[in-house]
Every structure is written in C-alpha cells, then in structure tokens.
Amino acid sequence: MTAKQTSVPALKVGLFGIGLQAYWEQFDGLEQRLTVYIDIVCNRMEGFGAGVINLGMIDTPEKAFEAGSRFRREEVDIIFLYVTTYALSSTVLPVVKKAKVPVIVLNLSPEAAIDYASFNKMKNRTAMTGEWLAHCSACPVPEIANVFKRSNIPFYQVTGMLNNDPAVWQQVEEWISAAKVANVMYHNRLGLMGNYYSGMLDIYSNLTLHCAVFGGHFEIIEVDELSCLRNDVSAIEIEEKLKIFDDYFEVQDDCAADELKRAASTALALDKLVEKHQLGSFAYYHKGTGNLINEDTMSSIILGNSLLTGNGIPVAGEYEIKNVQAMKIMDSFGAGGSFTEYYAMDYNNDVILMGHDGPCHPAIAEGKIKVKPLQVYHGKVGSGLSVEMSVKHGDVTLLSVVETVDGKLLFLVAEAESVAGPILEIGNTNSRYKFPIGARGFVEAWNSHGPAHHCAVGKGHIASKIKKLGELLGVQTIQVC
C-alpha cells in the first residue's frame, strides 16, 4: 500500500440568522417563516459536506453575546450570517467579535421579486407589512457593513436569492471549499528533507512566514533516516509495490528489473517515513555526493514520490517549499497539483511547454504515466527511473505562492487550457498550455510579479476558489488571465 493523506479535523461552519424580536408579536408567522429560511440555508451547506453549527434566529443583543460564546466554544472556522429581514447591528457585532473568524454575509431574498399585484390586493395593512418584511433582507446590510468597517472586521458578501439562484450556492460552496483548504493547510505537517539546490536563489523561503500565514508544522528530516528505513523493507513488500507500479504506471520495456526493485524499496521507505511523521506534504533535494547509500536512495525516489503525490501527499523536488504549499492547496481543492516550470515557447502554435523532472501527479495525467530509465538526471547526481506524463487535456489553473519584497505571501494565478500536441519525450512531465492572453502575454504578465520559476498546475478553472482562500488567509491574489 501507499501512504495516504493524513486526516485533519473536520471543518466547522457557524450559521446564524438575524431578525428583530419586536416584529414577532406584531406579525403572525413571520418568525417561523424566517426560521424556515435559515434551515434551508443550513441544509444546503450540509450538502456541501460542511459540519454546520446552526444557532438559528438571533434577534436580541443578549442572544448575540451567547451566540458569540457558543461559536467560540465550538471552534468554528468560518461564520455565515444570514440576513433574513431588518435587524439591528447590535445583534451581529457581539457574535462576530467574539468568534474571531471570517464572516460571510448572506443577503438573500426568498424570491426574485415581490408579487406586487397580489401584495397590493391584500386587505390587511399589518399583513402587508409582514409580507414586505419577509422580503426585506437587503435593508440592514449597509448598517452591518458600516459597523464591520468601523470595527475593522473583514467581511464578504453573497447577494442573490434563497431559491432558484445557482450562482448564490456556487459562491457559498466556494467559500466552504476555501475554508476546508485553509483548515487543511493549518493542520498540515510538511516534511523537509535535504537542502536547497545551491544557487537557486528564487526558491529560498521564510519558514516562519509560512507558519504565520498558513499554520501547519515543518518537520526537518535527514536523508539518512530515509536510507535507514530502506533496510527494513522486505522482499514480499517489494513484490507488492511492484504490482502497484504496474497499476499506476506504463513501465517501458527498457526499465531494468533491478532499477524497479530499487525504486520500490525507496517507495516503501517513503511510505514508512510519511507514516512515522504524519506528513501531509513533502519537499526534498539532496546533492547526493560523498555518501553512496544516500545517493542510491535519492536517485530512486521519483516513483515513490509520484505515488505519494497521487494519494494526497504532494511532493516537490528541489526543496521548493513555496511550490509544495501551492501543490497542497491545489490538491486540497480536488484539482491535483503537479510540479511544473517553463520548458519552451512554441510560437507556431502559441503555446508554452511546461513540466519538470521528478515526481508527477497520477490523478491528473492524460493517459497512463510512462516510466523511463534516464542515464543522467540533468543538473543532478545519479541516474535511475523517471516518469513522463502530460496533464489531462482541458481547463487548468496555475498557482504560484510568491514571497514578496515586503515580507508577505502572494497567490499568483492563471487559468489556461492543456491542449493536445507533440511533447518532449524525455522522461519528464511536460504539457502544452494555451493561455487566453497568448503565450507572449502570459509569460510577460506572469514574470512581472516575480514568482519563483516553479508553479503548481491542476485541472479545472478554480481561480475564484483560490481568491476566496486568499481572503480567508489575508493573502493577496493576482490573476493574470
């Protein structure tokens, strides 16, 4: 078996609605009607896989203080505030101030519009007012926004209809999805083994900054430990791992049996290493000189790291911490996250060839991944087996986690398309990408923001989700296309 992604605590979503207690005695059935609306929102959220702490209708300041304490005790990760009708901002601020988590304001009318003809035919003026108030969710949102701004509390809005409005629920799902990824990153244990590639200045990272922004833990690991774990691998385990290789990969005929066993042995050691340290992602590089045992280990690591990447434990070569964070984000969104960089420009077809040596992401491959022997790892010590794949044809998103001159992190994003066509059959990952602003335009726009030369690529267009993750983490997101 291959090690799988370590479990993280389930996301907790807080939900509360607001109203004005004075209305309930004045307008028959209004409180019950609005409470049903809150339950509809709760059910939709639960359908997105969220664990919802639903506190129902908060209609007095006293209840607001209680709600804030409850959310704090429950350790909710994000709050959705459903504005059902006019309500006082004093029923909101104590909740959000105490909970101290991001808040999304749901400004949702029950229908597209009031039925004016039917409404104006109503004989009872009190009943008319009650019906109006049931559609009055937009009214207090400026008041709430004003108080949040004056309290220096960030907030985000989803505006639309409770019913028959797919765009609303797409936004809600994306916020929940982003909160799940933030939760994964907060609990992630990232293993670091080896050292930076000497002289590759753009990839050096501030680990404390990453912990401050994402959370998580960095486990510093010696290459010697992985080499030692290879000694505990049995022949039976190797045979089982070779069968897994056959399932995942298209092993080429010129791959020597000894090389496959060497790769299987290292893959098993990697599984044991990940299990021991409960890793959720992994970055490595080892020059491999002066110690033949470690060179043997590190030159046979690619297949095992590809299996880990495909099982929710992204692995980045060249000790690329920023990029393994990007890969983990993409993978946690369900998009995959394969290590990549520019290979070459194709001006005839207006595409860019991108890929990288080292591990791939099997879950987003176009067809079966080929395993090929390489007589030399370019720019690195040793030789051994490598993988060749293209990312599935169709929509893709590129993500780079950038460290800026002012000591912050930045998300740099682009949406593109993986297209069919000739690739470089060199035993590395490589794909052809077409960008809506053209190859020239993309390269210049992307480079202008100063990312490292690596980035993560995943399937689908998910820039809007990454932007929401950035909002939750306080990270600026720049989308070039």
Find out whether 387 and 369 touch, Cβ atoms under 8 Å.
Answer: yes
Give the closest residue to 19 by CA, choosing from 112, 104, 81, 103.
81
Q: Residue 156: its pLDDT value, please?
A: 97
Q: What mean pLDDT is reported for the chain?
A: 92
Q: How many CA atoms lie within 13 A of 112 on its CB side?
A: 3
**Dihedral (C-alpha) 280, 285, 288, 293: value to the nearest 10 degrees?**
0
Pick the last residue of a domain from 183, 207, 240. Answer: 183
Residues 52-60, mean pLDDT to the nearest whole number: 97
Distance in angstroms (rounded) separating the CA atoms of residues 92 and 94: 6
Q: Residue 17 maps to which CATH number?
A: 3.40.50.10940
Helix axes 321-332, 207-214, angle to 10 degrees: 20
Looking at residue 405, the DSSP 8-state letter turns out to be T
Residues 225 and 134 in one domain: no
User: Sign (positive/negative) of CA torsion 328, 331, 335, 338?
Assistant: positive
In a domain, 2, yes or no: no
Tell me if 7 is assigned to some domain: no
> Residue 396's pLDDT band (boundaries 50, 70, 90)?
very high
Dump pLDDT digits (tens) for 109-131. 999 998 889 888 888 999 888 88
Q: What is the dihedral of CA 77, 82, 83, 84, to 10 degrees?
A: -160
Q: Which residue, chain included where needed, has tokens 């009190």? A: 126
Cα pseudo-dihedral 402, 408, 414, 415, rounded to 10: 120
Element (H, E) at 250: strand 249-251
Q: Which of 131, 107, 106 is nearest to 27 (CA)?
A: 131
Q: pLDDT grade, residue 381 (50/70/90)?
A: low
CA atoms within 13 A on the CB side of 410: 16
Task: Tell me if 384 sits within 8 A of 357, measured CB to CB.
Answer: no
Instruction: Report the sign of the C-alpha dihedral through residues 150, 152, 153, 159, in that order.
Output: positive
> What pLDDT score was predicted for residue 419?
95
Provide the whole-model pTM.
0.95
pLDDT in tens, 173-216: 999 999 999 999 999 999 999 989 888 899 999 999 999 999 99
Residues 243 and 376 in one domain: yes
Looking at the structure of the chain, the number of domains it has is 2
Query: pLDDT tens, 131-166?
Result: 888 898 999 999 999 999 999 999 999 999 999 999
Task: Note whether 173 and 231 are same-domain residues.
Answer: no
Is there a contact between 213 and 473 (Cβ–Cβ < 8 Å)? yes
178 and 266 share a domain? no
